[in-house]
Amino acid sequence: MKTSPLALALASLILGAAAPAASALDLVQTYRLAQANDSQLASARAQLETVRARADSAQAALRPALSSSASVQRQNLERDPGPTYNFSPISLGLQLSVPLYRVQNVEALEQSRLQVTASEVALELAQQDLILRVSQAYFDLLGSLDNLQTIQSQKRAITEQLAAARRNFEVGTATITDQQEAQARFDLATAQELAAQNDVEVKRAALGTLVGRSVSDINVLRPGVTLQGPQPSVESNWTSAARSNNYNVQQQRIGSEVARREIDRQRASNSFTVDLVGSISHQRDAIFNLPGVNTTATVAGIQIAKPLYTSGGAEARVREAMSAFERSRSDLETAQRQAELGARQSFYVVNSGLAQVRALEAAERSSQLALDSNLLGYQVGVRINIDVLNAQQQLFTTRRDLARARYETILNGLRLKTTSGALKEEDLVQVNTLLTPAPQR
């Protein structure tokens, strides 16, 4: 039975209406998509597995080792004068070595375990960095969308004022200057709109690169949202936590401990080692003049070894390790100072951002009152068109700046938590509660 084109069109329309619309991405969804796609995070995970394998290798150096050997030979013995002997000796063997005292290997094992911990910290640092990169890209896109919306709102308002100026000029209640001024503003807004649209696409592509898919709509900040200050609210709590818990500080602290153990490892390389050794061997036809004789030998004992003279190499390696340890201690102190400074600066920036948000909120209210007054004055003839346009531009610009200040304050709050290694996915969940789907236009 052939289906008519009209029936196909109706079915397509019904299915299209029934299909759910693609929902906007929120901040947490964006982060989880980026987790599965980010190459830097994947690299940190792979590095951790690599270091864990090295730790297993270091552990193996302290465990028993068993090896085997086998050989078959063909030998000819000629005597002149005398007969020629042909025989094939066979040898089989097993060798066992059990480390009993190897300080150098013990220190190497402890170093490898510390390096595993350092790689785990590096993975946490990569996850923290991804949170910041996703948040930055997300709010960059929101800021770009706000800028475009601001310009479009200005353009609509200018269009209305341009139409009013033309009408007033036609009836003789306004001069050509009002019309020309509105036209100039309109042309400028058109150029700005094109640039803003391009910037939106650039920011959208940057966020899409992080999540590994195209991004259409994202949730926006709820209107009139109230931002909270940093908790704890005391600067010294943040700087103290940064000196102890900052991920870069943790890595430097682990590196310093690895360097200290390297001194012990190099000193141990010049000490004695103790191993339990054993072997069993079986030989057949090993001696040409005793064909058919089989021998089995078993050996077990304690093997002690110690370097007697290394031409000063061992002492030089110890001095090198000691210098590296001193450098690592200096690097640790530098990392602690930088973390403390970063925490202090971020703390001040967050509080300054909150103050700026409050000031812009007051400016928004004042700008709205100024616009209302200018519109009323324009209607009664005590204000001209340019006054209304300036008041509109001031209101729209203030709203855009307020939104940007809120975004930056939120981002700086996240950066503050990175200074003490406290930034987690739960913090994104908290920020996500401040977002809501964008209103339909």
The mean pLDDT of 405-426, rounded to a whole number, is 95
| pLDDT reading at 290 higher than 70 | no
Is the separation of the CB atoms in 245 and 336 below 8 Å? no
- Distance, in Å, from the CA atom of 93 to the CA atom of 430, rounded to the nearest integer, reads 67
- Distance, in Å, from the CA atom of 163 to the CA atom of 171, rounded to the nearest integer, reads 13
CA-nearest of 424, 410, 417 to 35 is 424
Is the separation of the CB atoms in 206 and 140 below 8 Å? yes
DSSP 69: E
Task: Return the pLDDT at 24.
Answer: 81
- Distance, in Å, from the CA atom of 135 to the CA atom of 432, rounded to the nearest integer, reads 10
Task: Return the pLDDT at 303.
Answer: 92
Task: For the chain, list the domains and their CATH numbers.
Answer: 24-62+102-271+315-436 (1.20.1600.10), 67-101+272-305 (2.20.200)
Q: What is the pLDDT of residues 328-369, one digit of tens each?
A: 999 999 999 999 999 999 999 999 999 999 999 999 999 999
Task: Return the pLDDT at 389.
Answer: 79
Task: Return the pLDDT at 2.
Answer: 45
CA angle 18, 22, 23 (to 5 degrees): 120
| pLDDT reading at 178 higher than 80 | no
The mean pLDDT of 176-200, rounded to a whole number, is 88
- Distance, in Å, from the CA atom of 243 to the CA atom of 216, rounded to the nearest integer, reads 41
Task: Return the pLDDT at 288.
Answer: 54
- Name the more confident of 99 and 438: 99
Task: Return the pLDDT at 4.
Answer: 47
- Name the more confident of 177 and 232: 232
| pLDDT reading at 18 higher than 60 | no
The mean pLDDT of the chain is 87
**Chain Cα centroid distance, residue 318:** 37
